[in-house]
């Protein structure tokens, strides 16, 4: 029996946290801002960023507050059962996120993290995405050698 695409996407959601409602909402905001060409969950980049703007060399992560250890109400809510396990698990996630962001920046990518709790205020998210993507299209300074090289390659 061939698996139906909707089954697959449901499984993906459950397993990897892909295509969560938060991600879908951010994609919608991005499209409404006029950006229609972007990749999603690019596995060839560190951390499989949720949204990838190759030409701008910019990526957006949409982070769930619990899994990624946000310092907010939801992020601070650690389950009472297996408390030690969860604290360790989330600390590892946070450490991995940090390494991922550093790796991307080293490779000349601009990184924006959007927290799930922030989506309760869409206008704020709207504004930070707009600022981020506008800034990412500006010419790069000497702070990002890799980014400059990539830009040259692109324009060649």
Binding mask 71-110 for Zn ion (x = CB under 5 A): -x--x-----------------------------------
In the complex, the smallest distance separating the C-beta of residue 47 from Zn ion, rounded to whole angstroms, is 18
SS3 64: coil
Nearer to Zn ion, 37 or 120 (CB): 120
Does 125 interact with Zn ion (rule: CB under 5 A)? no
Output helix, strand, coil percentages for the chain, rounded to the nearest 5. Answer: 50, 10, 40
Nearest to 68 by CA among 102, 17, 119, 123: 17
In the complex, the smallest distance separating the C-beta of residue 9 from Zn ion, rounded to whole angstroms, is 25
Nearer to Zn ion, 23 or 53 (CB): 23
Binding mask 38-67 for Zn ion (x = CB under 5 A): ---------------------------x--
Does 117 interact with Zn ion (rule: CB under 5 A)? yes
Pick from 69, 70, 100, 110: which binds Zn ion (CB under 5 A)? 70
Looking at the DSSP assignment, which residues form a beta bridge with residue 39?
52
Cβ burial of 4 (10 Å; 0-12, 13-18, 19+) is: exposed
Does 115 interact with Zn ion (rule: CB under 5 A)? yes
- CB atoms closer than 10 angstroms to residue 21: 11
Distance of CA 143 to the CA centre of its chain: 22
Q: At what angle do helices 21-32 and 122-136 cross, to 10 degrees?
A: 60
Binding site for Zn ion (CB under 5 A): 65, 70, 72, 75, 115, 117
């Amino acid at each position: 029996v061939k698996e139906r695409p909707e089954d697959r996407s449901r499984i993906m959601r459950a397993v990897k946290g892909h295509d969560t409602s938060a991600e879908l909402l951010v994609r919608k905001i991005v499209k409404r801002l006029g950006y229609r060409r972007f990749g999603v969950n690019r596995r060839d980049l560190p951390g499989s960023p949720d949204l990838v703007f190759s030409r701008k060399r910019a990526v957006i992560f949409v982070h769930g507050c619990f899994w990624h250890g946000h310092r907010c109400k939801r992020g601070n809510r650690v389950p009472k059962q297996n408390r030690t396990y969860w604290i360790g698990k989330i600390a590892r996630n946070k450490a991995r996120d940090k390494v991922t962001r550093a790796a991307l920046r080293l490779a000349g990518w601009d990184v924006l993290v959007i927290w799930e709790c922030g989506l309760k205020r869409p206008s704020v998210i709207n504004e930070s995405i707009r600022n981020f993507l506008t800034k990412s299209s500006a010419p790069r300074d000497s702070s990002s050698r890799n980014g400059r090289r990539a830009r040259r390659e692109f324009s060649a």
